[in-house]
Amino acid sequence: MPGVGRRRFCAGWGAAALALGCPAWRSGHKSGSGLLVRGAQVYVEGRLQELDIRAAGGVIVELSRGLTLQGGEHVVDAAGLLALPGGIDPHVHLSASADPPGMEDDYCDNYTHGSRAALAGGVTTIGVMVFPKGDVGAGILPSVQQHRQSIASQSMVDVMLHPVSFTADSDAFAAIEPLARQGHTSLKVFAVVENFERDEAAFTELIRAAGAQKMLTLLHCERHGINKAEIARLVAAGKGGLRHYAESSPVRSEVEAVRAAIKISEETSSPIYVVHLSSAAALERCAAARQRGVRIYVETRPMYLYHTRSVYERADGPLFIGQPPLREEADIDALWEGLRGGLIDTIGSDHAPFTAAVKLDSSATIEKYSAGTPGLQMMLPMLYSEGVGKGRLSLDRFVDLTSTSAARLFGLYPRKGVLQVGSDADITLWDPKLRRTIRPSMIRSQAGYDINIGHEVQGWPVTVIRRGEVAFRDDEVVAAPGSGELLARGPHRPLT
């Protein structure tokens, strides 16, 4: 297993007033039979309009006022609700159950568990990281096949796969063209592993090869050497406990990795998507690079918006550990400004579920711990409430951040990410007035906890429609395992 010491490979690198017109939903509803969503405020062409939405064959076929019911159609009365494009969480880790233990099997959610969390949180499409089967140097393509099988039997949401390469050897290069041809138009690379620092020139060429196939490279930006030295220093000083976790990967580690990402993108003319960006300083680097036309895209992660590193002092601090660490208040402010102003393109939960018992294991240290949190379910309700509800984000930005931009970057637009005729009928119906307090009983992930327990939010995804099928309503997931699809995607396209 690559990386620092014996760290586990995971998240960081490696978590109304709605009336249904037809009781048939109770027994599930197939996308082929047609659906009419009535009276919602629908987000179309950049604004809310009171419209009806007709779906047939899984896609939107009409968007208009006063649509009449057609034979065999089911009706969802959505008066008073907002109809927004189904959420896309581009950064999720799930176990593909038959994989050998040691990597993904550390995660406690498979595709069915993850789908439940997604749907209950307004998300209809997820992007899942596919680790190479076995260990470093093993093939990417067999793992993709494993995930394909798990999706076919377990998933209730649509899935895009981000194949991971820990090496830049001939096998990795050989996988690029088949991946692109199969519609897996993204590649995940970890700048935090020792391999990357040792073989940076080879990884640069791998990213060039991916770009040449119109693939987008996702990069985990921390520097191995900096973290290794910091960890050694802390351990020598008797500070190996997890309360010192933030110091084990300082901001400069992220900044130096982002600097490398920018350099590689400039050298190769290949786009790079920085996952889970955590700090103001790293965001500034990305902003400056974008000013001069470098194709650097930025994703941040919910926990960086609501918590600071001070939580690591608490007894339950390990629940908040993901890579990179939580930062300071000033970083939170900068990330919100990035979300508002467009310097941050997407939000991804980096859902990497472990049970609280695993996270709070008293033997864990900064050298060995389970990184990641189960963030998929509450990502959208928290962002809607804290962002749109509190006036920090426009509804336009919310839709861009949670759906449209990810669809564009990952080759899914306009099939996903927009409500228009011809697009998939992935619709999340929000009750903007509903207030709920996040409770453990709501959590669908097998992790059984969420780092936002006790938080009251206003605005809630009450009904979720995936490809014309009601998949979640009345606090119940009603989609069938296996109804989700593995998405074959088009090429990456730059955001304009």
Residue numbers of the site for Zn ion (CB under 5 A)? Answer: 11, 350
Q: Is 210 or 275 the residue whose CB approaches Zn ion more closely?
A: 275
CA distance 144 to 162: 9
Which residues contact residue 201 at a Cβ distance below 8 angstroms, ignoring those fewer than 6 apart?
Answer: none
Query: Which residues pair with residue 52 across a beta bridge?
Result: 64
Q: By the 8 A CB rule, do 308 and 353 touch?
A: no
- For Zn ion, give the closer residue by CB, 9 or 449: 9
Residue closest to Zn ion when measured from CB atoms: 350
> Cβ 91 to Zn ion, closest distance in Å?
6
Least distance to Zn ion from the beta carbon of 376, Å?
Answer: 12
Residue nearer to Zn ion on the CB measure, 222 or 426? 222
CB of 92 to Zn ion, least distance (A): 8
Q: How far is the CB of 93 from Zn ion (least distance, A)?
A: 6
What letters, b where the CB count within 10 A reaches 16 and e where it falls short, cover 45-83? eeeeeebbbbbbebbbbebeeebeeeeebbbbbbeebbb
**CB atoms < 10 A from the CB of 266, how many?**
16
Kindly state the smallest distance separating residue 303's Cβ from Zn ion, in Å: 12
**Residues near 221 by beta carbon (within 8 Å), at least 6 away in sequence:** 191, 192, 254, 257, 258, 260, 261, 274, 275, 277, 282, 324
Instruction: Answer yes or no: are the C-beta atoms of 23 and 30 closer than 8 Å.
Output: no
* CB of residue 48 to Zn ion, shortest distance in Å: 33
Q: How far is the CB of 188 from Zn ion (least distance, A)?
A: 8
Cβ partners under 8 Å of residue 220, min gap 6: 12, 13, 188, 189, 190, 191, 192, 257, 275, 276, 323
Q: Which is nearer to Zn ion, 162 or 309 (CB)?
A: 162
Our CB check for Zn ion shows the closer of 15 and 294 to be: 15
Closest CB to Zn ion among 131 and 398? Answer: 131
DSSP sequence for 80-129: T-EEEEPEEEEEE----TTSPTTTGGGSS--HHHHHHHHHHTTEEEEEEE
Our CB check for Zn ion shows the closer of 94 and 429 to be 94
